[in-house]
Structure 1
């Protein structure tokens, strides 16, 4: 150790004790802030956090690039000039459907479970079965996961949490609307909406069960919409169905319902449909 004053040596030892680092590192940071222990320690941890963040980002980036290059039939781009979204050379910041399927399988996430959509919401996927670089890196960095093992563990936690955390469930449910639509469409086609409702509103695939012993809510809802001609579902109806589901789980007798409420018309009509199914159509009184 170069010659330091007794006070400086003491400060170095204090820094080492606080940061578990070497004397030379301590001296470097202390010199940079005129031997202020507090400022030196703050600078050390700030620098370390930044370095760790950069390292984590690079690790997640390597994972992204590994799956970005996953294509079953690689194309010789030297003789192919048209754009191909599954070609890594054409889409350097996108993981296509084949790479996404392999990635999800490697972190133990099934395509037909709500957790899959939870991962897509975390990574802000632009479309179903597609990851972009920035969303992937940002999502996993915020989740603190920089290996596929950690990502698999996070997915398991997500799987357990989604059915019990109403706020998380709602966030994932609402995010599924834009990524489930056909390209260029504002509304969600009925068949796609029905498929997603069966996913979100049944327990066997990680959702919240809507059917009860007394009322097959989900079955009746789909039957009701089929009878109306399987019309496309707009964003407002999609979002309000989840709110409606929560309400019916709290009180199946519609004690919370009001004819003057700001519910979509389809749900107003569905209440009457349910009452008719129960044989109470003529007795229904809306508060």
Structure 2
């Protein structure tokens, strides 16, 4: 077991040989998209079986209603805000993430023409009414643990600044509240731990991905938490901090 650290991105310990046998608004700066992520695997991404007619021209005309006149081929945050308002989706809802994921968007607040056209074609959608009809289906898909995990993993690359390997703690906190706030008793205490002790300034990919499993599998009293397992060291520090609080309450 490696030494505990409180640096910006604590390492993940390896399992021992015996162990080898699942907010407040903030300003997030994002770069103009320049990469295309892998297409997410989702039941809701299958084309409609109802024979809905898809028109490439209609889809392109729809895109052009929102693209930035000074950045042709790209919908920027202003256009994104108008688009979400037009389809009746709150910018503070997880549905924004779901739609961005469905379109394989690479940067928060942006859609490229390529992302829009290929994403809408995959969904067999070329108009606002068709998309609005699909939204309940997207939201129901969040109840599927497999789809939710895919969305959660996608979110790390989507919301972090593209010139950074890690996500700022403030951004991670907003995303955890948005995505997991009602699903785990660990979310609020973990956020309090990060705010009170400030052990890190950024959250790395391993910490982000591991927190979903931690939040949805570890009991509230930590009786099943294995300190020798391969959790990031940051989680050990949180468990120690929380146990200290619980002991103080009981004494």
Is TM more than 0.5 here? yes
Structural mapping, 1:2-41, within 5 Å = none
Structural mapping, 1:158-169, within 5 Å = 158-162=138-142, 164-169=143-148
* CA distance in structure 2 between the aligned counterparts of 1:133 and 1:101, rounded to whole angstroms: 17
User: Alpha carbons of 1:142 and 1:256: their partners in 2 closer, same or farther (altered >3 Å)?
Assistant: farther
Q: Are the aligned partners of 1:107 and 1:155 in contact in 2 as well (CA < 8 Å)? A: no
Unmatched runs of 5 consecutive residues or more in structure 2: 1-50
Are 1:120 and 2:100 matched, yes or no?
yes
Are 1:141 and 2:109 matched, yes or no?
no
Are 1:155 and 2:154 matched, yes or no?
no
* CA distance in structure 2 between the aligned counterparts of 1:234 and 1:261, rounded to whole angstroms: 19
* CA distance in structure 2 between the aligned counterparts of 1:136 and 1:143, rounded to whole angstroms: 11
The one of 260, 266, 278 equivalent to 2:246 is 278
The structure with more helix, counted as a fraction of residues: 1
Local SS of the residue matching 1:67: coil
Question: What TM-score results when the alignment is normalised by the length of structure 2?
Answer: 0.71
Match of 1:206?
Answer: none
RMSD in angstroms over aligned alpha carbons?
2.3
Cα displacement string for residues 113-172 of structure 1 (whole angstroms, at most 9, x for unaligned residues): 11100111111212111101111122222222221111112122222331x111221222
* CA distance in structure 1 between the aligned counterparts of 2:231 and 2:210, rounded to whole angstroms: 7
The one of 199, 220, 226 equivalent to 2:178 is 199
Q: Are the aligned partners of 1:109 and 1:155 in contact in 2 as well (CA < 8 Å)? A: no
How many residue pairs were aligned?
A: 198
Unmatched runs of 5 consecutive residues or more in structure 1: 1-51, 69-85, 204-208, 212-216, 282-287
* CA distance in structure 2 between the aligned counterparts of 1:93 and 1:260, rounded to whole angstroms: 50
Structure showing greater radius of gyration is 1
* CA distance in structure 2 between the aligned counterparts of 1:262 and 1:114, rounded to whole angstroms: 29
